[in-house]
Structure 1
């Protein structure tokens, strides 16, 4: 690639390399979502380890804590050293420590490696979204983000299938080896073909991609709170927290809640599959809607519709009705969170964009921890059906209200420059 002004070359690089490479990085996030659940049954069966459900839950939580810290810290580092370097470092670190998980002699060492792997993986999402947003055409930025996030669900599905095929022959350790293998191909391709974002280079004052920009973590953090962004930053944190409460809470407990409602186990597991099919459909639809009517109204509408369809799940519908309701809930719940990332990536200037995405993703990871706890609490009380769905509906409604108070001076300024007018942009 040449200088940052060669937009045609930048677009070619985006089409040919950036999306596939970033998509693969996000696929690793989907792998991590499912892999511990896949290996937990054989770990519990291994008497030499003496693992209990409580210890297993602790190891799972430690991994999420690592991802929370990684999202925040690598997000800040990304705004200093650049998107390209940060993403390569994040993928390399995750893959190395995932490989080391396969050599763990006990649960405590496994927890340590899961924590360290989480530090790396936590940085993949904010860095990849920042890079995709800055290299995508403006009118397709929403679709670019939602397309990128399909890798998350593809990775989750592939990991579940791999568990069925790999564990009987190679044991649980084989799953972590497989999780590390993509880096053998992915990292060299990133080193050779992944470009730096022209927006980052311009913001950092570097005239060409082969020159090192001079960034500041202080400047990146300040971008979250200056120029009237404090309220918006806090509101986006709240929205992301609520979004991942829904994603992780429903993925963890939907089958058990439906069993409490009287559905057979097979039907309950089928509903979980339908929920995730809806997630993929929702991602494809949400991006197109966001590019047409604007990101902000799309996020508000998606969270509001999530609240509606989650509340409807509290009603035991006859026949196919429950499957349709779960599908609709999946369409809106999962893509709501992705639209939060899309909105965040456009609400901040390049100097603080990855930091903002990292903070939003990091706070969201706390919601990922709280979601299963919320569902488990309602199940323990024996009132998960129907009150668990009402609780999740309230969570979605809070997300809609929180994002409604977001105001982005940066988006207004960009729209004014593009349109040559003071009219407020539709994405705002």
Structure 2
């Protein structure tokens, strides 16, 4: 008796020989590098975004993300491998659809799956039978099964027959020159063998290493666990910083010493708060989901509380420094905030603690300018609309006559810290930027 051909075999063949068309929804820090890498690896790619300015820029050969160079854009454009568009009707031509949209928190720190749900409804409206849909957006365990799949099936498509679903968490690290999209191992999880096989085959043609796991929930939990690990350890060193500061001990010296142990210790470093899209947000997805099962996430919530309070600790140190060295309070001071992005050497503003610091300073009555070689102008930010279009000052315009103190929040390598020290005004350094460069610590206070 002749065996029945599996329903996913035709799609698998197209994935393996790269004749499948791939749609990537969301052309931000995750979606754009994935779309370009997929096109470079030989697939035809359609990139979709509701922000019409993004496809417009990409079609003009203009990249807005450092991980994707203008040359990379030109290469895939010249090869005819990509289409950038805000028109989602093109999803009907795609064999593989990857979702790379934001998953923020509400004001009450609960998951906001609005973008995922809206995207899923759009896919359900346009997709044809025989499509693989992969969610990459970080979320709580169960989202793929409980939220995404039912929406995709809502228009009569049958899971594991008409379409297949998988979860493969993004692991992008903006500014990391060592690990890029293709070289970061890719976790792939799905709830059926066919879905897992299809997703593993697709990513196997795009990245260097694929790591299949048993289910979509497991893959979702892998990503959450990675970010909780970092959040908790950063909270630990932030708490140690506050304690050791009270004892007159430099936490940076402590970490440097502890890091010499070749086993049993991994260095994490304190800062003015958490930034980026992942670490300040993702742990709360598990906190929220855990309540459904009657469990409290005490470690995770405590870590969040500690990290959220760090900007206030920094401001308190700045108040002390202004009072000691200038005899002034914040309301009568002018502060230069060095670094407005959340991380060194990148323009990424998502959840930047520097913006929180600026907001606190302004509400305290201080005059505040920022210096950032990577951010010329503060973009639109949902929680800080009043900071829109503030522009960076130039280093040549910074003088001791202009500012009462400098607050280093993001330690970009392009900053001339020697010039800042030479101003001979108080510096509050949250990143150990001055000491790590071997500069004189006169009038520098670590925070």
Shorter-chain TM-score above 0.5: no
Indicate the structure with greater strand content: 2
Between 1 and 2, higher relative CO (CA 8 Å, sep ≥ 6) is seen in 1
Indicate the structure with greater helix content: 1
